[in-house]
A and B are shown apart, each in its own frame.
Chain A
């Protein structure tokens, strides 16, 4: 079973304490939303989990293996994959080549047909097989997001972190992406979705982690989080703050 244990993670950038004793666990193919206001530490947490940033203290274990001091490429091979806030496809490489990169990085042979067949399967799943020889730069923004997801499917990690998968995506395409995310999750992958779009988070996730200025202030079901006064305060500020800025008390309008 998939098991991620994050214990007392701390990260400072100079005097800025970005992550403060963050701890949580993931067991099994959960669908988790990671939310928080701007500057809450969501992307830093992702970067620490993925190895791009080393924590000042704390530990991360993935399936029993400590990964917090490993380089990103080893963490990816251990079973944690991610997408980026701004789509980062390999633009001057074809769609197929984009998909080959993680498969070959796992050590699969590039001479046989195994990798190509796997890539074509992924493209078929994403209904993008007709674009296989196109350069990634020729794809639309939505297709590039799907291509990023496709690369993760080729990497086949246990845990997938999607950083703002719905940013700049047309509402109709969003439904399609929901469907892909659910189908990937049903393949036994744990998913962490970072998004500012609460509708999407509530539609997909069964558990929410809420970060606020580096503190993990909630770890509960979406319903419980929605009514959590600490979360409401983090998103809307205190009553005093709101009266200063002329805002009304309306937790339900949090979006």
Chain B
């Protein structure tokens, strides 16, 4: 099933011909973005039991780090003499002064002034996009470490409230620091491939969807591969033990502090990397991306699909993103216009409520469990029968339970 899904998404951009190509590709890219967030949040909340509402804040940290890096840092062969600058070999690292949201015709930043003075004689380069993405990922990890350390003693609702507070503080800070972050106006970023890219002899312009599609897809695959590896390692076992009972896990020799922090760092880095790439794809980041509504969307995607399975969370995120987009089409009943751009969210909320009420394991996890654990029940029955026939006594002391 996994191989079929992989093959489908690999082939999709090349075989899809049904119209609205760019729009459908865009939904895929955004779907992959949410899949990274939902699957990494699934590791954090579903596997490790750390119900953090700060995941979009880490996404925002990655995005804003990449944005600020591209916005303020440049490489120039000549010193400006008016900006903060450092020699880097034969070039200079230029740090532009923040001027906030001001018309450039009224106030120019130091680099713009220098460029005007040079009158095209000097070519100034932006910092590489990939470097901003890496920096954003690292900053996400550093903040993940800090938050992980701060919430060590917090559990359940206290942890949720703490991370919610962190997220809102970050959003408010970004909104307030207009001079540096441009506040609600947001910061524009260069595209992932600002000058286009040639792959296998084919040139893709910066607005082409195929390059960002595969960048986000490979980022998702990378995150899923790491999550898979972690879930199959002692890390996965220990964080699940942490979720079940932190004290019992510690009493059995598990360094709960280490694994609690590690799971925050790793999942924060994933969210931050997704944020950085997404910001370069849409070429703008605003504080609205950090709103609690966005976090709720990620949580709902993971919960509806199955929060305790990161693969289900990823697939669910893509499916839900598609469904939400497809439901945008408004229609008319008896002359009454049904505006689905709003009603689709009602539909989404109802699915979430029904899932929580009737399928707490999510809608996709039972399907995955059916294929992956179907043998367990049969095996247990066979072994119990063997045990009964061999000793004539029956099962283990205490009898067969079913306490839940």
Contact A127 B253, CB 8 Å, known A91-B404, A140-B403? no
Within 8 A of B (CB), among A85-126: 88-93, 97, 100-102, 104-106, 110, 126
**Which of A76, A97, A138 interacts with B253 by CB under 8 Å?**
A76
Within 8 A of A (CB), among B105-143: none
Contact B253 A105 (CB under 8 A): yes
Contact A105 B238 (CB under 8 A): yes
Given contacts A73-B256, A138-B404, A142-B398, 8 further A-B contacts (CB under 8 A): A72-B247, A90-B248, A105-B254, A127-B396, A129-B383, A130-B387, A140-B398, A176-B397
CA separation between A130 and B381, bound complex, in Å?
Answer: 8
Within 8 A of A (CB), among B206-244: 233-234, 237-238, 240-241, 243-244
Contacts of A177 in B (CB 8 A): 397
Contacts of B253 in A (CB 8 A): 73, 76-77, 101-102, 105-106, 155
- 8 interchain residue pairs of minimum CB distance: A142-B398, A140-B401, A105-B253, A130-B383, A90-B244, A72-B250, A137-B404, A76-B253
CA separation between A9 and B257, bound complex, in Å?
Answer: 26
What does the 1/0 interface line of B245-259 toward A look like (CB < 8 Å)?
101111111111100
Interface presence of A139 (CB below 8 A): yes
Interface presence of A82 (CB below 8 A): yes
Contact A90 B401 (CB under 8 A): no
Contacts of B241 in A (CB 8 A): 90, 93, 101
Contact A139 B237, CB 8 Å, known A73-B256, A92-B244, A130-B387? no
Interface presence of A151 (CB below 8 A): yes
CA separation between A88 and B233, bound complex, in Å?
Answer: 23
Interface presence of B402 (CB below 8 A): yes
Contacts of B403 in A (CB 8 A): 137-141, 144
Interface presence of B399 (CB below 8 A): yes
Contacts of A100 in B (CB 8 A): 237
Contacts of B251 in A (CB 8 A): 50, 52, 72-73, 76, 81-82, 84
Q: List 12 A-B contacts (CB under 8 A).
A: A50-B251, A73-B256, A84-B247, A88-B247, A92-B243, A92-B244, A93-B237, A106-B253, A110-B237, A130-B396, A144-B401, A155-B253
Contacts of A71 in B (CB 8 A): 250, 255, 257
Interface presence of A5 (CB below 8 A): no
Q: Is the interface of A mostly helix, strand, loop or mixed?
A: helix
What does the 1/0 interface line of A29-52 toward B look like (CB < 8 Å)?
000000000000000000000111
Interface presence of A143 (CB below 8 A): yes
CB distance from A248 to the nearest CB of B (A): 38
Contacts of A81 in B (CB 8 A): 251-252
Contacts of A146 in B (CB 8 A): 396-398
**Which of A52, A101, A144 interacts with B252 by CB under 8 Å?**
A101
Most B Cβ at <10 Å: residue of A82, A101, A146: A101
Interface presence of B337 (CB below 8 A): no
CA separation between A105 and B242, bound complex, in Å?
Answer: 12
What does the 1/0 interface line of A56-93 toward B look like (CB < 8 Å)?
00000000000000011100110001101000111111
**Which of B245, B373, B401 interacts with A139 by CB under 8 Å?**
B401
Interface presence of A173 (CB below 8 A): yes
Interface presence of A128 (CB below 8 A): yes
CA separation between A140 and B244, bound complex, in Å?
Answer: 18
Interface presence of A133 (CB below 8 A): yes
Within 8 A of B (CB), among A132-162: 133-134, 137-146, 151, 155
CB distance from B316 to the nearest CB of A (A): 19
Contacts of A140 in B (CB 8 A): 398-403
CA separation between A110 and B10, bound complex, in Å?
Answer: 33
CA separation between A146 and B252, bound complex, in Å?
Answer: 15
**Which of B234, B247, B256 interacts with A104 by CB under 8 Å?**
B234
CA separation between A139 and B251, bound complex, in Å?
Answer: 21
Contact A141 B398 (CB under 8 A): yes
Interface presence of A131 (CB below 8 A): yes
CB distance from B314 to the nearest CB of A (A): 20
Most A Cβ at <10 Å: residue of B253, B379, B384: B253
Contact B398 A92 (CB under 8 A): no
Interface presence of B308 (CB below 8 A): yes
Contact B397 A127 (CB under 8 A): yes
CB distance from B317 to the nearest CB of A (A): 22
Residue of chain B at shortest CB distance from A72: B250
Contacts of A173 in B (CB 8 A): 397-398
CB distance from B34 to the nearest CB of A (A): 25
CB distance from A111 to the nearest CB of B (A): 9
Contact A139 B398 (CB under 8 A): yes
CB distance from A141 to the nearest CB of B (A): 6
CA separation between A81 and B241, bound complex, in Å?
Answer: 16
Residue of chain A at shortest CB distance from B395: A130
Most B Cβ at <10 Å: residue of A82, A92, A145: A92
Contact A142 B244, CB 8 Å, known A76-B253, A104-B238, A110-B234? no
Residue of chain B at shortest CB distance from A115: B234
**Which of B249, B396, B398 interacts with A101 by CB under 8 Å?**
B249
Contacts of B332 in A (CB 8 A): none
CA separation between A87 and B152, bound complex, in Å?
Answer: 24
CA separation between A155 and B252, bound complex, in Å?
Answer: 7
Interface presence of B90 (CB below 8 A): no
Contacts of B396 in A (CB 8 A): 126-128, 130-131, 143, 146
Contacts of A97 in B (CB 8 A): 237, 240
